[in-house]
Structures are given as C-alpha cells and as structure tokens.
Amino acid sequence: MSDIIEVKGQYYIQANASMADTSTRVLKHADTFAIFDRHGDIRPLGFENQGVFHEGTRFLSQWKLKISGTSPLLLSSNVKEDNDFLIVDLTNPVLPLDGDRALPHGVIHLVRTTFLWSGEFFERIEVSNFAPDPVSLTIELTFQADFVDLFEVRGTTRKRRGRALPASVDHGDVVLAYEGLDSIVRWTEIHFSRSPCEIVWSCRVHSAAVSSNSSPR
C-alpha cells in the first residue's frame, strides 16, 4: 500500500503511488454512510471525504490497520449486496522477526468484513497463518474522530468550532467526545470483542485480533 506522508498538518501521497490507491468504497444504511479506501482504511486525506458519517456529522475520521507496524498488501476489495458489506482481502509484505529471521511475503491472510447497522459501524478482522510455524504478530488500529459536519468536509471554513473532550478509556473500550457550539455533546464509542493488549493515549490500539464497532451519536 502506498504510504501517506504528513507535513505540517497536510497529507500527501508519495510520487510513486498508484492513482488507483485513491479510489474509495462506500457503505450506507439509513442515516449513516461510510467512505473507505480500497484497503478498508479511513485516511485523513485533504482531498478525500473519507469517514463514518451519521446525520451529517463525521464520527470517525481515521481508521487505519497495520500488521507489525507495516501496511498490509491488498489482494481484493469488494462491496457486496447493495452497499451493505465491504470485504477486503489483505496479505503481509516481508516482515522481520526475532533475530535474523523474516516472515515471507504472502503467508498471512487478513480478511476485513465491514458493515453499517442502526447507526453503528462494525468490523471483523480475521487473521490466518499459512507459514509452516507459529508466528507472533501485532495487529494495530489507529483511529480518530474530528466531528466535523458535511459542510466542513466539503471545504467550508468555520470561524469557531466546539471543543474536543478528553478521551475516556475503560476496560479496553474508548469514548471520543466533542462538545459543539450548540452545547450538544457528540461521541464515538469504540468497543473490542477481545481486550486490546494496549491502548496508548494517542488512540493507537494494539491487539492480537480485533472485532470492533463505533457508535456515532
């Protein structure tokens, strides 16, 4: 996958990146819709409107998967059944292991199955190992919620905005909240079916296997 470079808050695609990497996948259910890249990620690109949106507000502005600190390689990416499901098949690049060993390319298979339902975003991540021996890997999710509205996403600049509230972490669950100028508090809840190995304050999540959802409200 082509890497995204951040320079002083602006995001750029490397010059050797394929323009096909900028294509998107769209899911919709009732008042909720989501826009992903082909890998099933949500990336903070200035010229893309990616995110999970509910009733005109973006409740998830970044959702990025890595395997042992590296972006997995895309095998296939398809939206199924009238924009109901996004299914993405991924594999590993060559990954360094302990000592001088390396995990060969293509022996780890990841399947991301994503759907929306009743104002919630669900993702299941399946990991299969086809190497001859067991391996220890880290599945990492980086996420963020900016709570901008569709007008801001499309380029409107507001003179004033509300304030982001401190993130809350409780038993592996995360709540990201924002108080708008209308004094309404909006929040995104992120739950994991398996407790993450670690949640750091920058909202980077490490887990051996993850199935998660966020609830836009």
pTM: 0.80
Q: Residue 173 belongs to what domain range? A: 22-210
Alpha-carbon span 4 to 206, nearest angstrom: 20
**pLDDT-based confidence at 47, cuts 50/70/90?**
very low
Q: Is residue 1 part of a domain?
A: no
pLDDT of residue 21: 54
Q: Is residue 16 part of a domain?
A: no
Residue with tokens 């293509």: 106
Q: Is residue 39 part of a domain?
A: yes
pLDDT at 102 over 60: yes
Q: Is residue 12 part of a domain?
A: no
Diameter of the chain by CA atoms? 58
Nearest to 61 by CA among 121, 1, 140: 121
**pLDDT-based confidence at 197, cuts 50/70/90?**
confident
pLDDT of residue 73: 97
Structural domain total, the chain: 1
Q: Is residue 8 part of a domain?
A: no
Q: Is residue 153 part of a domain?
A: yes
Q: Is residue 38 part of a domain?
A: yes
Q: Is residue 171 part of a domain?
A: yes
* CATH, residue 35: 2.70.98.40
Cα of 170 vs its chain's centroid, Å: 20
Q: pLDDT for 150-182, tens place per residue?
A: 888 888 888 999 999 999 988 778 999 999 999
